[in-house]
Amino acid sequence: MVRTVGVEEELLLVDGQSGEPQALSTAVLALAEGRAEGDSAFESELHLQQMEFATQPRSTMGELADEILRWRAEAAQSAAQAGAAVAALASSPLPVSPSIGAGERHQWLAEQFGLTVQEQLTCGCHVHVSVESDEEGVGVIDRMRPWLPVLLALSSNSPFWQGQDTAYHSYRSRVWGRWPSAGPVEVFGSADRYHQQVSALVDTEVLRDKGMIYFDARLSHRYPTVEVRVADVCLDPADTVLLATLVRGLVETAAREWRAGGPPDPSGLGVLRMAAWQAARSGLEGRLLNPRTMRPEPAADVIGALLAHVRAALEDTDDFGSAEKALKNVLQRGTGARTQREALTRAGSLGAVVADCVSRTQG
């Protein structure tokens, strides 16, 4: 049985001329809902300068690609009606003072976490892959851990922050890591232990509920899926499809290892944090930690190791050839972070960078 896969993408609302973020999500979402036939795919987010959409669970990557393009186009049209544009940027290149949504949950977060919330205007991409049970899901999470930083490097799309070049390829991940429940996790070993750990975190009352379990990969609290949350939103929609392809391949590969009784990778949290930092810092431009050795190697070699790791699973869904081609393309042209820096070199202003990214968001 082929596992289904779905994607949640967060998008930045910007002024189409200046590139400055615009706090217009309430108006844009109302327009999107009015345009929708049936249930809307769009939701509000923590800040009024962003919005999110979620695809349906899909069995083929072609279906998923079509839906991603559809919702990006719908978001762009609704934003245009409200006098704005959408950009698949994981952070705003231009300075911004984010506006927090008025909902009860958002206000609780603002009171509880202060400046951390104020500075969380970041856009990620979450990939859901179906699993047969919580036991299988936890077995998958335990065995995927060392590969998640490679996905972060592939998706890196946030080099600028408050008008400055951060020297990182994914500064979003550094900002996101300020949440107390975010980041890599230990080996759980069983679904019971996973749920015990989640309950223990919620029982501290530092977190509002299970929805604030921000692990890099978690059991979804809403769907029968493993949810991988490590990635930046990708500038090119083709990279979102590639990300989803690789995540499904990793889930299937890990599930096969779990069923065969293979042990999870023993890497500790400290080393996994180093791998995530390195991925955020260099993207695909330098070295990454090879998940098999946790030693630095050229990014292209680590990408090759990832592809080899999931090859059997991708071949079974007829995705290997397209994934191999897409990975070569990303290695050649670079991720969204490189695209943004190259746009700044050409145009000389961050506003022009945003304008370029607005046009690229729809592919």
Architecture of domain 5-361: 2-Layer Sandwich (3.30)
pTM: 0.97
Do 337 and 159 form a contact (C-beta atoms < 8 A)?
A: yes
Structure tokens belonging to residue 301: 């070699």
> What is the CA 106 to chain-centroid distance, rounded?
21
Judged against a pLDDT cut of 90, whether residue 129 lies above it is answered with yes
Can you tell me the mean pLDDT for 347-358?
96
Nearest to 153 by CA among 290, 50, 10, 267: 290
C-alpha 223/C-alpha 131 separation (Å) is 10
One-letter identity of residue 207: L
**What's the pLDDT tens digit per position in 242-279?**
999 999 999 999 999 999 999 998 999 999 999 999 99
**What's the pLDDT tens digit per position in 78-87?**
999 999 999 9
Q: Strand, helix or coil at 224?
A: coil
- The whole-number pLDDT of residue 36 equals 67
